[in-house]
């Protein structure tokens, strides 16, 4: 797996990075939220291993910010804070799991495997919006049972909007969804792709929220 350790403690960071590399993972290491933010711009990680006590922006605040910005990959908190309310806060803020220091590398590895299984299951789930179906496993989109031919970036944009159905996605959040597809993002890229999606799909599907971003509305139950 591709892992990003966000940990300011030198000894722990080094020990963890080397143990996880030894276990076959690709490991990045940031020593603050600001450093992590720089790495996240260029790299995709499967799991962030987040320490809460960080210099500068606190781990919990950073976690909330990531989730508010639409970051959807797994986040596992590694911390010395072991009070029940700390765990509850961490999970409520959007962490997928929580491990209290000191922990064994075996337990961490087992938690990582469990996270991977859970998220693979979720990632493979079809996104259904009325007659529109997006299948992440086959990367196919169908509208009224007819295949719709989308570019990889159009697919990624539509997937991000459908995943966050009912929520307005800012241009920055949508750009983030495209980071995995390489190349620099031109300032008007999102608009161009949205324009293409509207031509290929129901033109009313994606709403523009002026000055904020784009939205696919939930279909009322
Ligand atoms: Ca720390």
Q: For position 123, what pLDDT does the model report?
A: 67
E strand map for the chain: 2-6, 26-30, 47-51, 74-79, 97-100, 127-129, 132-135, 140-143, 146-148, 169-170, 206-209, 213-216
Least confident of 5-19, 91-105, 168-182: 168-182
Does this model's pTM top 0.85? My answer is no
Q: For position 182, what pLDDT does the model report?
A: 47
pLDDT above 70 covers what percent of the chain? Answer: 94
Q: For position 21, what pLDDT does the model report?
A: 94
* Ligand 1 centroid, distance to 54 Cα (angstroms): 5
What domains, with CATH codes, occur in the chain?
2-122 (3.40.50.2300), 127-215 (1.10.10.10)
* Ligand 1 centroid, distance to 51 Cα (angstroms): 6
Q: Is the pLDDT of residue 44 over 80?
A: no
* Ligand 1 centroid, distance to 8 Cα (angstroms): 5
> What confidence tier does 72 reach under pLDDT thresholds 50, 70, 90?
confident
pLDDT in tens, 84-126: 888 899 999 999 999 999 999 999 999 999 998 887 766 678 8
3-state DSSP assignment of residue 206: strand
* Ligand 1 centroid, distance to 6 Cα (angstroms): 9
Per-residue tokens: 38: 């720089």
* Ligand 1 centroid, distance to 75 Cα (angstroms): 16
pLDDT in tens, 181-190: 445 566 678 9
* Ligand 1 centroid, distance to 73 Cα (angstroms): 22
């Amino acid at each position: 797996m591709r892992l990003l350790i966000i940990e300011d403690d030198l000894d722990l960071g080094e020990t963890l990075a080397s143990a996880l590399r030894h276990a076959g993972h690709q490991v990045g290491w940031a020593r603050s939220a600001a450093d992590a933010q720089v790495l996240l711009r260029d790299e995709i990680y499967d799991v962030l291993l987040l320490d809460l006590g960080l210099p500068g922006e606190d781990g919990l605040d950073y976690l909330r910010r990531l989730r508010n910005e639409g970051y959807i990959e797994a986040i596992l908190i590694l911390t010395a804070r072991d009070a029940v309310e700390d765990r509850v806060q961490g999970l409520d803020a959007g962490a997928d799991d929580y491990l209290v220091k000191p922990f064994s590398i075996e337990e961490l590895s087992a938690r990582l495997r469990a996270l991977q299984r859970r998220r693979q299951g979720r990632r493979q789930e079809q996104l259904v919006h009325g007659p529109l179906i997006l299948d992440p496993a086959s990367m196919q989109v169908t509208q009224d049972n007819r295949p719709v031919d989308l570019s990889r970036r159009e697919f990624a944009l539509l997937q991000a909007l459908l995943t966050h159905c009912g929520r307005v996605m800012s241009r920055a959040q949508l750009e983030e969804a495209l980071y995995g597809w390489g190349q620099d993002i031109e300032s008007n890229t999102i608009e161009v792709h949205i324009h293409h999606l509207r031509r290929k799909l129901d033109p009313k599907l994606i709403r523009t929220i002026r000055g904020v971003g784009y939205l696919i509305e939930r279909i009322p139950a």
